[in-house]
């Protein structure tokens, strides 16, 4: 054991004592020089001290006037060796003020290196990968493909054995999460477990590769790199519509768009010859950076930041280079000069954009997942606009409309002419010409208006109350209170027979609707039989001085043959004194309740329409035409329809940001200290000299993208496959997946990395092929159940002696509970949604009027979509996702941290989404799970963890059920409360105590460490 630990230590510390030829430059020497010396003696010319450059051999071995910093083979004559060994604080290197110290073993390595000839070698990552010989596989080892032979060779060097293959149930869960981010369904598990024919594993892998969920899952990883968000970041963090681009990514993965096309379209799709809409949409990638709208900012300062972000992101994603370090000065470690940084900057500096509110250029482009719908909308709009331009015969249309309404059943709203009007509080009620009643005089704290009216109709269905405004009312509003509001605490009606007034009945209303109600003062509160406070209909009079209309629908038609007398009571009796309705007008109708509208065609218009045209007086004809033109003008209706569709189009097919180059190129200058306003030398486009040259006459953004994808490029393929590896194993072959430069870590398996990179190129940049290849390896298929010692000796599994095992990502955790509970809504793409989150989070950070809004929590399906559709607000990310290490997406993120904290426990124990999903899982367990408790628990366990629980586990879960059942049987209220967590209704057919008890079991299942772990 001790020996093993030592071996691993040696492997990772990079010290190779066995090599007679001296230490290896790249693995042993360079990290020491880079970490301790290059800051002052490296590529940065301005920072260079004593004109000594140690990153190049000719610099290090240069004659410095009778002595050399490095004298190959002669450490005793090498200044650097005497300086690092010095104990004089004036002499010693690194100097004390830089606060870096070499260890004894580092000093020894440098000494040995000089003694052995001080060989320099090019940094591995800047040399194109070469086809290495695939190692011979050791006898008796399972080898599925060349990956395993590379891994086994390394294991053999360390006297380690690979682990056996994981169980089938582990494998399908691992593969399912790896490729789709979701747990396997029971059907998928059963199918795989029952497939005993050869190739079962490959078939299973292919099924997941073909699943639309694959594209969603892969896109989700890409979104971190692309710093995708649904908000603009910075101070006000307003909404943006880049989800259309996000849909492009999902679609591209599902189509398995080759990585070269995937790259070129995202970086420069707009510059491709005859660029398609989708190719332009792809370029949204480099518009995902934050954009500020803060007042008073300086435009150019922020425009410069946006371009910087593009350079930094692009170089990190495709080159794993920290180009940003060369923004202010030459790179301290990698040989990238400040000038070269601005040469690359030039490619991305051509967008016709601004710093403040810099959202242009934008274009209305369809999500590839919704192209058909967009086309349909466009066609319909085109048709309507043509229709609008057609000449029309209005008189003919009027006649047609007239005959239509004349033939319709029902008389519309009949405005009542009040007979008597009384106020119990002493207000003056006066009838106006339009049959409305204007209140005036004293304004008593409590008041009831009693109004009578008659109608010839005998089969009424509903009453309408218009609360009109009037100039004599306070503020010209609809209410009597000085704040213009009213609170109608109750609205009552008694109907009596006109023939025999002793025949009477109180009319019961079952439904009320209004065109406007104040929050918590809904119109239904005016017919709920109580005047308790706060209880009644109000209309935000203080801020909204407008009329409002309510209709009250009777439980059953009412009235009497031969005419009906109506006696209304408008009660104002809440605690809010003096809140009378200012100018009520009452109407009734006999239209069927289902067809009622707040504003129907007035009864007098209907009466005119019903007459024979020849019998209409000219006054009546005029009134009819006036009404028709005001309310039913076809132009107006078409315009309204166009407005509706355009609104729909804006919402579903918004303008989204894309890349574009200006017609006249913007000049790019070196910016001193990276400051937007400190311009230096003008530069032209280009790439750093440490990389292969670009093709001549291709120095555009498109040329840059094509240069990245050149098969001879040393970085692009390696960087991409390394990220695939990181995604599947938790750590990349190069651990610093974002930095392949000199300060990055060396690959654990260099030959394997190169082989994979070349295979990727050979396959035509076939991403699915690469996933299939790695997933098919015996390396990936190893078990992770290997015992404590193995975890302790290689915590990050860098030697790959076991299968991958890691905590699920934030999105996978939420998605998996939605999936296993059956709540998951599998809709692909579309506008981002707002699932549950604790109240008040947005407003507590920003409540500035006009710049803020409360979190608009969604309803129904929107609560159960996959997490990559959750609205990503940069300044207030989803607290659930954030707790599980989701980044803020302010910038490109290559690796997420994976922490393990008590806050995570709290989310999983108490979050609404978790508790509600547990109830749904419990419902499935009770309904689908079988008859016995064991069967039901096993069913739920399999849904979550894709395996059958062991007996001890089953026993514990059974106890949990029994104990909770007792608890909830004697605490019915608690059971009901638990079942009501979340928006979805609970299944009423189930016994509440049982469902609550099973919900508790399901909560346990979701909280298992296993449930949030893959592997």
Partner 1 sequence: MHDLFLESRLIENRRQFFGRSTTGIGVAALSSLLGGNLARGEKTGKGGRIGGLEGIPHFAPKAKRVIYLLQSGAPSQVDLLDHKPSLEKLHMQQLPGDIRDGQRLTGMTAGQKSFPMIKSPWKFRQHGQSGTWISDLLPHMAEVVDDICVVRSMHTEAINHDPAVTFFQSGHQQPGRPSIGSWLSYGLGSEAENLPSFVVLLSKNTFHQAQPLYDRLWGSGFLPSRYQGVKFRSQGDPVLYLNDPAGGSSKKRLAMLDRLARLNRIREQEIGDPEITSRIAQYEMAYRMQASVPELADISDEPESTFKLYGEEAKVPGSHAANCLLARRLAERGVRFIQLFHRGWDHHSNVQRYLPTLAKETDQGSAALIADLKRRDMLDETLVIWGGEFGRTVYAQGNPNSFGRDHHPRCFSIWMAGGGIKPGITYGQTDDYCYNVAKDPVHVHDFHATILHCLGIDHERLTHRFQGRDYRLTDVHGKVVRGILS
State which of positions 293-312 bind partner 1 (CB under 8 A): 294-298, 305
> What is the CA 778 to chain-centroid distance, rounded?
35
Cβ-based neighbour number of residue 854 at 10 Å: 11
Least separation in angstroms between CB 318 and partner 1: 15
Single out the residue of 360, 610, 638, 1008 in contact with partner 1 (rule: CB under 8 A): 1008
CA 138 to CA 154: how far, in whole Å? 11
Least separation in angstroms between CB 240 and partner 1: 16
976 binds partner 1 (CB under 8 A): yes
State which of positions 609-628 bind partner 1 (CB under 8 A): none
C-alpha torsion angle, residues 520, 523, 527, 530 (rounded to 10): 30
Single out the residue of 18, 46, 58, 99 in contact with partner 1 (rule: CB under 8 A): 99
CA-wise closest residue to 720 among 708, 730, 707, 705 = 708
Angle at 319 between CA 313 and CA 320, to 5 degrees: 75
Residue number, 643 or 903, with CB nearest to partner 1:
903
Q: How many residues bind partner 1 (CB under 8 A)?
A: 107
Angle at 526 between CA 524 and CA 530, to 5 degrees: 110
Name all contacts of 707-713 with Cβ < 8 Å and 24+ positions apart.
708/263, 708/267, 708/318, 708/319, 709/259, 709/260, 709/263, 709/264, 709/765, 711/761, 712/128, 713/128
Angle at 909 between CA 907 and CA 910, to 5 degrees: 70
Interface segment toward partner 1; rule CB under 8 A; list 6-14, 17-25, 433-441, 892-900:
892-900
Residue number, 665 or 856, with CB nearest to partner 1:
856
Single out the residue of 752, 975, 998, 1002 in contact with partner 1 (rule: CB under 8 A): 975
983 binds partner 1 (CB under 8 A): no
Interface segment toward partner 1; rule CB under 8 A; list 1-9, 563-571, 855-863, 970-978:
970-978
H or E, element range at 549: strand 548-558
CA 548 to CA 545: how far, in whole Å? 9
Q: Phi and psi of 398, rounded to 5°?
A: -60, -45
43 binds partner 1 (CB under 8 A): no
Single out the residue of 362, 364, 431, 967 in contact with partner 1 (rule: CB under 8 A): 967
Least separation in angstroms between CB 202 and partner 1: 27
Residue number, 299 or 378, with CB nearest to partner 1:
299
State which of positions 224-263 bind partner 1 (CB under 8 A): 233-237
CA 773 to CA 763: how far, in whole Å? 11
Token duo for residue 70: 């490095």
State which of positions 709-748 bind partner 1 (CB under 8 A): 736, 738-739, 741-744
For residue 989, the 8-state DSSP code is T
Q: Could you tell me whether strands 548-558 and 437-440 are parallel, antiparallel, or unpaired per DSSP bridges?
A: unpaired
H or E, element range at 208: helix 200-210
H or E, element range at 439: strand 437-440
Q: By the 8 A CB rule, do 180 and 826 touch?
A: no
Residue number, 195 or 890, with CB nearest to partner 1:
890
Single out the residue of 103, 274, 712, 897 in contact with partner 1 (rule: CB under 8 A): 897
779 binds partner 1 (CB under 8 A): no
1013 binds partner 1 (CB under 8 A): yes
3-state secondary structure of 906: helix
State which of positions 344-383 bind partner 1 (CB under 8 A): 356
Least separation in angstroms between CB 879 and partner 1: 5
3-state secondary structure of 225: helix
CA-wise closest residue to 220 among 186, 250, 262 = 250
CA 583 to CA 547: how far, in whole Å? 9
Least separation in angstroms between CB 237 and partner 1: 7
Token duo for residue 908: 């999983």
Single out the residue of 119, 378, 885, 983 in contact with partner 1 (rule: CB under 8 A): 885
Match 């892998």 to its residue by tokens. Answer: 205
Residue number, 233 or 688, with CB nearest to partner 1:
233
3-state secondary structure of 591: coil
Q: Mark residues 822-851: x for contact with partner 1 by CB under 8 A, - for none.
A: ----------------xxx---xxxxxx-x
Token duo for residue 706: 């094509």
Token duo for residue 65: 């006037």
Residue number, 417 or 901, with CB nearest to partner 1:
901
Least separation in angstroms between CB 132 and partner 1: 26
Residue number, 265 or 794, with CB nearest to partner 1:
794
Single out the residue of 168, 431, 611, 882 in contact with partner 1 (rule: CB under 8 A): 882
Residue number, 160 or 365, with CB nearest to partner 1:
160
333 binds partner 1 (CB under 8 A): yes
Cβ-based neighbour number of residue 433 at 10 Å: 5
Least separation in angstroms between CB 942 and partner 1: 15
Residue number, 478 or 911, with CB nearest to partner 1:
911
State which of positions 794-823 bind partner 1 (CB under 8 A): 795, 805, 807
904 binds partner 1 (CB under 8 A): yes
Least separation in angstroms between CB 15 and partner 1: 19
870 binds partner 1 (CB under 8 A): no
Q: By the 8 A CB rule, do 991 and 975 touch?
A: no
Residue number, 419 or 679, with CB nearest to partner 1:
679
Single out the residue of 6, 45, 127, 906 in contact with partner 1 (rule: CB under 8 A): 906
Q: By the 8 A CB rule, do 803 and 782 touch?
A: yes
915 binds partner 1 (CB under 8 A): yes
957 binds partner 1 (CB under 8 A): yes
3-state secondary structure of 517: coil
Single out the residue of 116, 852, 934, 987 in contact with partner 1 (rule: CB under 8 A): 852
Least separation in angstroms between CB 462 and partner 1: 39
Q: By the 8 A CB rule, do 517 and 434 touch?
A: no
Single out the residue of 70, 118, 171, 325 in contact with partner 1 (rule: CB under 8 A): 325
Interface segment toward partner 1; rule CB under 8 A; list 15-23, 157-165, 251-259, 784-792:
784-792
Interface segment toward partner 1; rule CB under 8 A; list 208-216, 288-296, 391-399, 545-553:
288-296
Neighbouring-strand partners of residue 682 = 669
3-state secondary structure of 63: strand
CA 91 to CA 580: how far, in whole Å? 92
Single out the residue of 874, 924, 942, 994 in contact with partner 1 (rule: CB under 8 A): 874
């Amino acid at each position: 054991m001790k020996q093993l630990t030592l071996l691993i230590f040696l492997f990772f510390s990079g010290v190779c004592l066995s090599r007679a030829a001296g230490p290896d430059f790249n693995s042993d020497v360079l990290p020491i020089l880079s970490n301790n010396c290059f800051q002052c003696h490296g590529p940065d010319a301005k920072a260079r001290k004593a004109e000594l450059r140690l990153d190049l051999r000719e610099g290090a071995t240069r004659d410095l006037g009778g002595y050399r910093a490095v004298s190959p083979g002669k450490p005793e004559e090498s200044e650097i060796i005497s300086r690092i060994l010095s104990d004089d604080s004036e002499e010693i290197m690194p100097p004390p003020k830089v606060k870096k110290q070499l260890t004894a073993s580092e000093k020894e390595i440098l000494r040995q290196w000089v003694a052995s000839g001080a060989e320099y070698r090019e940094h591995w990552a800047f040399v194109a990968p070469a086809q290495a010989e695939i190692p011979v596989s050791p006898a008796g080892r399972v080898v599925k493909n060349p990956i395993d032979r590379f891994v086994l060779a390394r294991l053999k060097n360390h006297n380690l054995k690979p682990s056996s293959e994981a169980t089938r149930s582990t494998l399908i869960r691992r593969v399912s999460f790896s490729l789709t981010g979701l747990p396997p369904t029971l059907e998928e598990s059963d199918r795989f477990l029952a497939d005993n024919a050869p190739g079962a594993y490959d078939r299973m892998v292919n099924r997941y590769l073909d699943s639309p969920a694959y594209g969603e899952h892969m896109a989700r990883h890409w979104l971190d790199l692309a710093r995708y968000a649904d908000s603009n970041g910075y101070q006000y963090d307003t909404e943006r519509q880049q989800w259309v681009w996000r849909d492009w990514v999902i679609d591209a993965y599902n189509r398995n768009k080759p990585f070269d096309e995937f790259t070129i379209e995202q970086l420069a799709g707009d510059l491709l010859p005859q660029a398609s809409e989708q190719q332009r949409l792809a370029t949204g990638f480099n518009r995902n950076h934050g954009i500020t709208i803060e007042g008073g900012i300086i435009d150019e300062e922020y425009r410069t930041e946006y371009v910087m972000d593009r350079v930094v992101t692009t170089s990190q994603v495709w080159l794993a280079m920290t180009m940003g370090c060369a923004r202010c000065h030459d790179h301290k470690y990698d040989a990238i000069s400040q000038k070269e940084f601005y040469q690359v900057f030039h490619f991305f500096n051509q967008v016709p954009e601004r710093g403040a509110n810099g959202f242009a250029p934008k274009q209305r482009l369809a999500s590839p997942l919704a192209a058909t719908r967009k086309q349909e909308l466009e066609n319909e709009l085109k048709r309507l606009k043509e229709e609008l331009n057609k000449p029309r015969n209005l008189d003919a249309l009027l006649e047609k409309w007239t005959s239509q309404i004349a033939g319709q059943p029902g008389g519309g709203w009949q405005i009542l002419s009040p007979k008597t009007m009384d106020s119990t509080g002493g207000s003056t009620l006066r009838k106006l010409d339009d049959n409305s009643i204007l209140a005036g005089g004293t304004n008593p704290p409590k008041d009831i208006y009693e109004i009578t009216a008659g109608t010839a109709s005998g089969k009424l269905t509903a009453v309408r109350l218009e609360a009109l405004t009037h100039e004599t009312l306070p503020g010209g509003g609809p209410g009597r209170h000085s704040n213009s509001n009213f609170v109608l605490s109750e609205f009552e009606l008694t109907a009596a027979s006109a023939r025999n007034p002793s025949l009477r009945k109180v009319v019961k209303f079952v439904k009320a609707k209004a065109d406007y109600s104040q929050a918590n003062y809904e119109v239904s509160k005016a017919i709920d039989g109580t005047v308790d406070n706060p209880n009644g209909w109000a209309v935000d009079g203080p801020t909204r001085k407008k009329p409002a209309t309510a209709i009250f629908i009777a439980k059953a038609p009412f009235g009497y043959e031969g005419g009906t007398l109506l006696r209304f009571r408008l009660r104002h009796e809440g605690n809010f004194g003096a809140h009378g309705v200012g100018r009520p007008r009452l109407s009734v109708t006999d239209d069927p309740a289902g067809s009622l509208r707040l504003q129907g065609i007035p009864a007098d218009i209907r009466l005119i329409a019903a007459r024979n045209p020849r019998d209409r007086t000219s006054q009546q004809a005029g009134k009819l035409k006036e009404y028709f033109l005001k309310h039913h003008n076809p132009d107006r209706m078409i315009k309204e329809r166009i407005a509706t569709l355009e609104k729909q189009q804006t919402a579903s097919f918004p303008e989204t940001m894309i890349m574009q180059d200006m017609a006249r190129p913007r000049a790019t200058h070196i910016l001193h200290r990276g400051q937007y306003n400190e311009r230096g030398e003008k530069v032209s486009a280009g790439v750093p000299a440490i990389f292969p040259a670009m093709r001549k006459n291709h120095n555009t953004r498109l040329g840059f993208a094509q240069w990245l994808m050149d098969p001879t490029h040393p970085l692009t393929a390696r960087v991409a496959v390394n990220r695939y590896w990181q995604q599947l194993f938790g750590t990349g072959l190069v651990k610093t997946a974002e930095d392949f430069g000199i300060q990055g870590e060396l690959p654990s398996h260099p030959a394997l990395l190169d082989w994979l990179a070349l295979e990727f190129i050979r396959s035509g940049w076939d991403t699915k092929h690469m996933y299939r290849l790695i997933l098919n390896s015996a390396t990936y298929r190893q078990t992770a159940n290997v015992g404590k010692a193995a975890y302790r000796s290689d915590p990050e599994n860098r030697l790959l002696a076991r299968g991958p095992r890691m905590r699920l990502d934030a999105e996978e955790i939420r998605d998996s509970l939605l999936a296993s509970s059956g709540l998951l809504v599998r809709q692909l793409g579309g506008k981002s949604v707002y699932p549950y989150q604790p109240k008040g989070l947005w407003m507590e950070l920003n409540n500035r009027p006009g710049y803020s809004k409360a979190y608009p929590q969604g309803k129904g399906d929107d609560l159960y979509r996959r997490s990559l559709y959750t609205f990503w607000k940069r300044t207030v990310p989803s607290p659930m996702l954030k707790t599980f290490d989701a980044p803020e997406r302010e910038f490109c993120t290559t690796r997420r941290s994976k922490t393990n904290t008590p806050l995570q426990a709290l989310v999983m124990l108490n979050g609404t989404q978790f508790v509600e999903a547990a109830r749904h899982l419990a419902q499935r367990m009770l309904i689908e799970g079988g008859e016995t408790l064991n069967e039901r628990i096993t069913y739920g366990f399999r849904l979550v963890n894709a395996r059958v629980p062991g007996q001890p586990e089953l026993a514990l879960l059974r106890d949990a059920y029994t104990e909770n059942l007792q608890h909830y049987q004697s605490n019915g209220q608690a059971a009901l409360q638990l079942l009501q967590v979340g928006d979805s209704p609970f299944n009423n057919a189930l016994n509440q105590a049982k469902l609550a008890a099973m919900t508790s079991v399901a909560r346990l299942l979701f909280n298992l460490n296993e449930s949030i772990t893959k592997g």
